[in-house]
């Protein structure tokens, strides 16, 4: 384990409860800055729940509670004085289903920027172009920026969502199975994008696709039944896992 | 017959056939009835165009209609004229024993155009009979006012309908629909201006902010208000709201278009709320999560993402609210003051089209010109409601859905 890397997200004995049911059991993990960290595991193992607790999206569900610490940049995000809105501007999120707002492509990108301030039109134009270029979408949509974003293809929509998340300039990008609804070509584009983005952002990726985790991530965590079974460099996990369940899952013996 | 085909239609029971046919017959019958109502309404109004009606005499300026509330009989000089339309109404007048109502006040502002704020309406909301001078006075103002029209050629029915005075009963019935149109638009506008924002905001609150338990109570409670008998709302406005508002504003008229608009908005709010709430709840929750994940607050999400996404439904809700306010009869009769003034001020009484039909149809002479005009108003109401529904259907489906839910 490369301990010299700066740690962006650090959890200590983090547990999560949906009212009575405990979904996460004492997760302890260090997520390194400017690295892609992938979480794999069978459905219902808690990896998405863990991802969504990083930016407190689980607050939207009634009757949830947490114990333990979820520390981002030295601050426990579940502290009382943490403003969840500010937190979420610093931790962007891309969802499994691409969900463009029913607005134009341009407005989709500028939405997050215009929430609290009014940048000039020229600034906005620059940011929109920059974000769309980052998301490798500019060439495809530059002629129809003011058309509805809903008319884009699935892969384009997902890249638009990434561009939208990048536009507010977060430090961390959480991706919840961003490619699960896409075809291989779109998936390839997004994976390329993830690799390009990691020099600027800390990326946490949840995926069902083990090849994807192997391709794009630097670190991989294996979740099972709400527990973090193993967490290590991706290469180590996929070549010589130290725990039997990980090996069984990776070799396709279950899951 | 090949029996092997797994998708072959199965032979159905007789009962299914019977049920299917019953449904068909009932459905076509109800559609037929709708058309029959439509045809009937047109037939009643068509007598206006086909029959040669009595010459409609009409002085160009007459203020009397504006000053009283429900003119059962307007009879400037009680001596009946031979051959006049009002022979029937005169009989009614005699049997009714009309009380003389403040004959002197009407003389004020006799020559002024429509709205004179004489104290008549404030003193009395529903004069049964308005009869300025019970006995013919030589050289009275009425006679002077009536003098000019004799010099004119007889005004056509169309001129009469487009004139500025609604005073359908009397020697010279005046069927000017402008005061009614203005009254309708005025009250509808007030009702929508109050009702639509409140309904939409309540829907936003209920859909996104209210705790689940509160929401479970709130939605049925407001929907219950939609089933509230409008006569009760009207009575409530007539008694409580009117007094309260007069205490606050010190308005000259106790019942006015504002009170009517408030009353109508009570009927409109539940409609707007229910439909807008359904539309807002139907917006995918993922959209809300996506917006929140970008660091927006709940209100920003509601206003800038959820409301635009639900815009077609919310627009439809508002249009249906307009339709309700437009066609609402009982509240309009009870709370607006029901005087056909052609004034745009919300502080003056108003009379709506529906209220006119509601309050006059019971006393109209069957087959008379007045009767025809009332049905004409009914057709107009229908056309507007139809237009609103068509607008909802066409505009919402074609434009808004295209704009907000993909090209």
Q: Which two tokens stand for residue B126?
A: 């529903």
**Are B308 and A103 within 8 A, CB to CB?**
yes
Q: What is the dihedral of CA B104, B105, B109, B115, to 10 degrees?
A: -150
Read off the pLDDT of residues B34-52 as tens digits, 9 standing for 90 and up.
777 778 777 877 777 776 5
Q: What are phi and psi of B386, to 5 degrees?
A: -60, -45
B186 pLDDT above the threshold of 90 = yes
In this complex, is the C-beta atom of B291 within 8 Å of any C-beta atom belonging to chain A?
yes
| CA–CA gap between residue A1 and residue A235 (Å, rounded) | 12
Q: Where in chain B is the domain with CATH 1.10.3720.10?
A: 178-405
Q: Does B294 touch chain A (CB under 8 A)?
A: yes
Question: What residues have CB less than 8 Å from A4, skipping those under 6 apart?
Answer: none
Q: What residues 166-195 of chain A have any CB closer than 8 A to a CB of chain B?
A: 168
Least confident interval from A158-167, B29-38, B128-137: B128-137
* Burial class (CB within 10 angstroms; exposed 0-12, middle 13-18, buried 19+) of A120: exposed
pLDDT digit string (tens) for B188-232? 999 999 999 999 998 988 888 888 888 888 888 888 877 888 898
At residue B21, the pLDDT reads: 86
Phi first, then psi, for residue B406 (nearest 5°) are 105, 145
The alpha-carbon radius of gyration of chain B (Å, integer) is 27
Give the pLDDT band (50/70/90) at residue B402: low
Question: What average pLDDT is seen over chain B?
Answer: 74
Taking the CA atoms of A236, A239, A240 and A245 in sequence, report the sign of the dihedral they define.
positive
Dmax of chain A from CA atoms? 56
CB-nearest partner of B295 from A60, A89, A101:
A89
Cα A100 to Cα A161: distance, rounded to the nearest angstrom:
6
Residue B187 scores a pLDDT above 90: yes
pLDDT at B194: 92
* CA–CA min distance A165, chain B (Å): 7
pLDDT band at B79 (very low <50, low <70, confident <90, very high): very low
DSSP bridge partners of B193: none
Which residues of A are less than 8 Å from B289 in CB distance?
57, 60, 95, 99
CA distance B292 to B314: 22
Chain A touched by B367 (CB under 8 Å): no
For residue B300, what is the nearest residue in chain A, using CA coordinates?
Answer: A115
Return the higher-pLDDT residue of B388 and B2: B388
What is the reported pLDDT for A252? Answer: 79
Check if CATH label 3.40.50.300 holds for domain B178-405: no
- Residue A185 backbone class (left: φ over 0; alpha: ψ -120 to 50; beta: rest): alpha
A vs B, Cβ pairs < 8 A, gives 76
Read off the pLDDT of residues A43-79 as tens digits, 9 standing for 90 and up: 888 888 999 999 888 888 888 888 998 888 888 888 8
Specify the 3-state DSSP secondary structure of B29. Answer: helix
Q: Which residues does chain A have within 8 Å of residue B308's beta carbon, measured at their own beta carbons?
A: 101-103
Q: How far apart are CA B164 and CA B61, in angstroms?
A: 9
- Give a three-class secondary structure readout of chain A: CCCCCCEEEEEEEEEEEECCEEEEEEEEEEEECCCEEEEECCCCCCHHHHHHHHCCHHHHCCCEEEEEEEEECCEECCCCCCCHHHHHHHEEEECCCCCCCCCEHHHHHHCCCCCCCCCCHHHHHHHHHHHHHHCCCHHHHHHHCCCEHHHCCHHHHHHHHHHHHHHCCCCEEEEECCCCCCCHHHHHHHHHHHHHHCCCCEEEEECCCHHHHHHHCCEEEEEECCEEEEEEEHHHHHHCCCCHHHHHHHCCCCC
Which B positions 189-208 lie with beta carbon below 8 A of chain A?
Answer: none
Report helix, strand or coil for B126. coil
Residue B52 pLDDT: 53
Tens digits of residue pLDDT in A132-153: 888 888 888 889 888 888 888 8
What pLDDT shows up at residue B84? 42
Q: What confidence score (pLDDT) does residue A39 get?
A: 92
B317-366 confidence digits (pLDDT tens): 999 899 989 989 999 999 988 888 888 888 899 999 999 999 988 888 88
Q: Contact B370/B169 with Cβ under 8 angstroms?
A: yes
pLDDT band of residue B163 (cuts 50, 70, 90) is confident
Q: What is the mean pLDDT of residues B283-293?
A: 89
**pLDDT attached to residue A142:** 86
Helix (H) or strand (E) holding B175: strand B174-175
User: Please, what are the domains in chain A?
Assistant: 7-97+171-250 (3.40.50.300)
| Residue A110 near residue A121 (C-beta atoms within 8 A) | no
On the question of pLDDT at B138 being above 60, the answer is no
pLDDT at residue B375 greater than cutoff 60 = yes
- Res B68: pLDDT: 44
CB contacts of A148 in chain B (<8 Å) are 403-404, 406-407
Collapsed DSSP state (helix, strand, coil) of residue B350:
strand
Which residues does chain A have within 8 Å of residue B296's beta carbon, measured at their own beta carbons? 85, 111-112, 115
CA angle A12, A18, A19 (to 5 degrees): 115
User: Please, which pLDDT band fits residue B404 given cuts at 50, 70 and 90?
Assistant: low
The pLDDT tens digits for B7-33 are 545 555 677 788 888 888 888 887 787
Residue that the structure tokens 């004020």 belong to: B108
Least CB–CB distance from B407: residue in A60, A95, A151: A151
Is this prediction's ipTM beyond 0.85? Answer: yes
B147 has a pLDDT exceeding 70:
no
Residue A40 pLDDT greater than 50, yes or no = yes
What are the phi and psi torsion angles at A69 (to 5°)?
A: -115, 140
Please report residues of A whose CB lies closer than 8 A to that of B216. none
Supply the pTM of this predicted model.
0.71
* Confidence label for B136 from pLDDT (cuts 50, 70 and 90): very low
Q: For chain A, what percent of residues have pLDDT higher than 90?
A: 11
Portion of chain B with pLDDT greater than 70, in percent: 69
Percent of chain B residues topping a pLDDT of 90: 14
The model's confidence at residue B311, banded by pLDDT at 50, 70 and 90, is confident
Cα–Cα dist A197/A203, whole Å: 8
- Say which DSSP state B105 is in: G
* Model confidence at A210: pLDDT above 50: yes
Please report which confidence band the pLDDT of residue B120 belongs to, taking 50, 70 and 90 as the band edges: very low
């Amino acid at each position: 384990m490369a301990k010299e890397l700066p740690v962006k997200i650090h959890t200590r004995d983090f547990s999560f409860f949906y009212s009575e049911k405990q979904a996460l059991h004492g997760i302890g993990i260090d997520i390194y800055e400017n690295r892609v960290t992938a979480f794999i595991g069978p459905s219902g193992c808690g990896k998405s729940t863990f991802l969504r607790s990083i930016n407190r999206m689980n607050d939207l569900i009634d009757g949830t509670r947490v114990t333990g610490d979820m520390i981002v940049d030295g601050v426990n995000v579940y502290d009382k004085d943490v403003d969840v809105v500010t937190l979420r501007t610093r931790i962007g999120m891309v969802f499994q289903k691409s969900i463009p707002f029913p607005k134009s492509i341009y407005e989709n990108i500028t939405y997050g920027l215009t929430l609290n301030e009014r940048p000039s039109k020229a600034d906005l134009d620059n940011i929109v172009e920059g974000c769309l270029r980052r998301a490798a979408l500019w060439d495809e949509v530059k002629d129809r920026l003011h058309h509805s974003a809903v008319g884009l293809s699935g892969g384009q929509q997902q890249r638009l969502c990434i561009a939208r998340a990048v536009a507010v300039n977060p430090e961390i990008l959480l991706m919840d199975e961003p490619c699960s609804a896409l075809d291989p070509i779109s998936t390839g584009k997004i994976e390329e994008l993830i690799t390009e983005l990691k020099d600027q952002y800390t990326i946490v990726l949840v995926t069902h696709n083990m090849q994807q985790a192997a391709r794009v991530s630097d670190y991989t965590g294996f979740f099972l039944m709400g527990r973090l079974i193993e967490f290590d460099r991706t290469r180590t996990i996929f070549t010589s896992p130290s725990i039997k369940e990980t090996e069984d899952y990776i070799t396709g013996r279950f899951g | 017959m090949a029996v092997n085909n797994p998708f072959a239609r199965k032979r159905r029971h007789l009962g299914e056939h019977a049920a299917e046919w019953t449904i068909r017959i009932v459905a076509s019958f109800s559609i037929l009835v709708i058309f029959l109502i439509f045809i009937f309404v047109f037939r009643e109004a068509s007598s206006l165009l086909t029959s040669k009606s009595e010459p409609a005499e009409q002085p160009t300026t007459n203020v009397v209609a504006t000053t009283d509330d429900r003119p059962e009989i307007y009879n400037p000089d009680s001596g009946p004229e031979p051959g006049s339309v009002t022979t029937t109404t005169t009989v009614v007048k005699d049997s009714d024993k009309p009380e003389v109502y403040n004959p002197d006040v009407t003389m004020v502002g006799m020559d002024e155009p429509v709205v004179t704020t004489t104290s008549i309406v404030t003193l009395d909301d529903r004069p049964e009979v308005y009869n300025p001078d019970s006995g013919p006075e030589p050289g009275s103002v009425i006679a002077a006012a009536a003098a000019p029209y004799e010099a004119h050629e007889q005004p056509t029915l169309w001129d009469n309908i487009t004139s500025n005075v609604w005073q359908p009963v009397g020697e010279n019935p005046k069927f000017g629909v402008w005061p009614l149109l203005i009254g309708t638009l005025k009250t509808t506008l007030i009702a929508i201006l109050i009702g639509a924002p409140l309904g939409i905001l309540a829907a936003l609150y209920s859909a996104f902010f209210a705790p689940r338990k509160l929401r479970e109570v709130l939605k049925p409670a407001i929907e219950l208000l939609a089933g509230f008998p409008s006569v009760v709302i009207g009575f409530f406005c007539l008694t409580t709201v009117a007094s309260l508002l007069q205490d606050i504003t010190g308005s000259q008229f106790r019942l006015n278009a504002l009170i009517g608009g408030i009353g109508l908005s009570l009927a409109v709010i539940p409609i707007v709320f229910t439909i807008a709430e359904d539309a807002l709840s139907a917006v995918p929750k993922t959209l809300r999560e996506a917006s929140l994940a970008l660091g927006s607050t709940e209100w920003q999400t509601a206003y800038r993402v959820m409301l635009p996404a639900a815009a077609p439904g919310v627009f439809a809700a508002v249009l249906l609210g307009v339709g309700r306010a437009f066609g609402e009869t009982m509240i309009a009769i009870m709370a607006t003051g029901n005087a056909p003034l052609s004034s745009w001020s919300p502080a003056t009484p108003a009379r709506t089209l529906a209220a006119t039909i509601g309050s006059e149809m019971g006393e109209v002479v069957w087959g008379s010109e007045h009767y025809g005009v009332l049905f004409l108003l009914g057709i107009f109401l229908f056309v507007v409601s139809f237009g609103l529904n068509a607008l909802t259907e066409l505009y919402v489906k074609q434009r808004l859905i295209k704009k907000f839910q993909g090209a």
